[in-house]
Copies of this chain bind each other. A is one copy, B any other.
Amino acid sequence: MTTANPENDFNNSPLRGLGGAPAVGTEIKVFAPATVANVVCGFDVLGFAVNEPGDEVIMRVTDKAGITISKITGDNGRLPLAAEKNTVSVSVQHYLESIGRTDIGLDIELHKKMPIGSGLGSSSASTVAGLFAIKSLLGDDTDVAKLLPFAMKGEEMACGHGHADNVAPALLGGFVLIRSYEPLDVIRLPHPKDLYCAIVFPDVDVPTREARQIIRDKIYMKDAVTQWGNIAGLVSGLYTQDIDLIGRSMKDVLVEPVRSMLIPDFYVMRELAMKAGAVSFGISGSGPSVFAFTRDEETARNITQMLQSHLADIKIASNAYVSTINDAGPRVL
């Protein structure tokens, strides 16, 4: 993987700051954010990070080379403790190999603070937390963007595709465009500061692999033209902080009509959200989580309450989160 973007040059300069090994017993706790990929009209190329929810990783230096996972919470037993099967440890292992430090011993605790299979970049958040933890433990002061290829390795393992539209915003924070994969070219986009995000996760099962498979391979050119007019409008609205333009650009004529079938009462929820003052409404990643942009926190909270109430009426449990866009990415707690 090479890149033509000097600011995101993941390969050409070495990782730095790797002189000393951290003392055995040294411990660090890291948070990494959930992310909303696709952002309605940016299928596979856009994503943004939120402040809530997110995952936490506690990483300890041990005296025995290699990585162990001693504890995972919040996953209802769904994630593997075996280090060679867990996306967090696999990504960290790739990173250690790339810097020639497989001599280091690490133990990892993973605390899932968001539902798995929710369409909120659950595996990406865990992976990014793990990578940021080892980078911080080693005092590696290179640009955090250099961790992206390692995070993508974890994503490939988690969902069968090395997509970056969750890991890139989880790692870099903010709103991110993946312009190209070959070469990898990641662009940070600005956004209005007063944009709130209301997220509701209806607790139904929509595995990422299956959600991808129902998308058509072939599409009409005229629909693609509609879609790229809209993504160009969305990017323009992000630069000019034009929330109206952002809202009217967030339309998806290609993926949403198919994926929405997997989400209970998607169009009812959309109507509720838009009537309550949402700027836009759509599927987060491959779903089933949905999200709305709003101009203020109160509207976002009203929307999550209405949607959760509606889901409860149709006997579906849900979680809800209200957040601004997270510009910081992962952080040491």
A180 surroundings in chain B (CB, below 8 A): 226, 229-230, 233, 248
Contact between chains at A218 and B221 (CB < 8 Å): yes
A321 within 8 Å of B (CB atoms): no
CB distance from A219 to the nearest CB of B (A): 5
When the two chains form the complex, which single residue of B46, B217, B229, B233 contacts A221, counting CB atoms closer than 8 Å? B217
A290 within 8 Å of B (CB atoms): no
Pick the most buried of A229, A236, A254: most chain B CB atoms within 10 A of its CB: A229
A249 within 8 Å of B (CB atoms): yes
**Known A177-B233, A225-B44; contact A248-B218, beta-carbon cutoff 8 A:** no
A4 within 8 Å of B (CB atoms): yes
Give 14 pairs: A residue, B residue, CB < 8 Å, sorted on A. Answer: A4-B244, A42-B228, A44-B229, A45-B225, A45-B229, A177-B233, A179-B233, A180-B230, A180-B233, A189-B236, A217-B222, A219-B224, A227-B228, A232-B234
When the two chains form the complex, which single residue of B46, B224, B232 contacts A46, counting CB atoms closer than 8 Å? B232
Interface mask (A220-252 → B, CB under 8 Å = 1, otherwise 0): 111011111111111110011000110011000
A185 surroundings in chain B (CB, below 8 A): 233, 248
A82 surroundings in chain B (CB, below 8 A): none
A230 surroundings in chain B (CB, below 8 A): 179-180
Interface residues of A (CB under 8 A from B): 4-6, 41-46, 177-180, 185, 187, 189, 215-222, 224-236, 239-240, 244-245, 248-249, 254
A217 surroundings in chain B (CB, below 8 A): 220-222
**Known A221-B218, A248-B4; contact A236-B233, beta-carbon cutoff 8 A:** no
**Known A189-B236, A236-B239; contact A224-B226, beta-carbon cutoff 8 A:** no
A248 surroundings in chain B (CB, below 8 A): 4-5, 179-180, 185
A220 surroundings in chain B (CB, below 8 A): 217-219
Contact between chains at B177 and A229 (CB < 8 Å): yes
Specify the chain B residue showing the minimal Cβ separation from A225: B44
A225 surroundings in chain B (CB, below 8 A): 43-45
Contact between chains at A231 and B232 (CB < 8 Å): yes
A222 and B161 CA atoms in complex are apart in Å by 13
CB distance from A294 to the nearest CB of B (A): 18
A248 and B109 CA atoms in complex are apart in Å by 42
**Known A216-B221, A221-B215, A226-B180; contact A232-B42, beta-carbon cutoff 8 A:** yes
Contact between chains at A231 and B228 (CB < 8 Å): yes
A236 and B186 CA atoms in complex are apart in Å by 11
A234 and B229 CA atoms in complex are apart in Å by 12
A44 surroundings in chain B (CB, below 8 A): 225, 229
Contact between chains at A177 and B232 (CB < 8 Å): yes
CB distance from A258 to the nearest CB of B (A): 11
20 further A-B contacts with Cβ under 8 Å, apart from A179-B245, A231-B232, are: A41-B228, A42-B228, A45-B228, A179-B232, A179-B233, A179-B248, A179-B249, A180-B229, A185-B233, A187-B236, A217-B222, A218-B219, A219-B219, A224-B224, A224-B228, A227-B228, A232-B232, A235-B235, A235-B239, A239-B240
